[in-house]
Structure 1
Amino acid sequence: MGGVDPHDPDPGATRHDFIGLFFAAWALPWFIGFLMIRAAIMGWLRRTGWVLLGLTGAMSTVSTATYLVGST
């Protein structure tokens, strides 16, 4: 039967390594694409960023208020 030797100095890739690799492989291209799309939108409509920021703020406010009401 195979197994992991606790005295082995290099047990190989761990779950933490795979999760980190998956996150980097998913999050980094997504973020780069987000920045590219945002730059394109800002080129066409300069105020779009502020509108999106305002909507995000409103959504955060409503979510926080809902959480606070629900947690009391």
Structure 2
Amino acid sequence: MKNLRFLVYIYVISIALSFTGYWIDSDVPNNGFAFQMFEVFVMSLFLAGILMAGYILVLCLFNSIKNLLSR
């Protein structure tokens, strides 16, 4: 359950980063609002995937170090 909470935190962070990027984008929007929100949603999924991969990598690294030190 603890890992699920961290994954939810990661997704919330990725949504916040996506909306921050949408907010500071200086280009004039050419597309409709629905398409822009679709881009924000896809970017948040992309960022969540990258952040989750990093989290899982660090978690596995710490667990392997912990197992090596406990031997």
TM-score range, shorter chain: 0.3 to 0.5
TM-score, length-scaled by structure 2: 0.44
TM-score, length-scaled by structure 1: 0.44
Name the structure where helix makes up a greater proportion of residues: 2
Bigger relative CO (Cα 8 Å, ≥ 6 apart):
2
Q: Larger C-alpha radius of gyration, 1 or 2?
A: 1
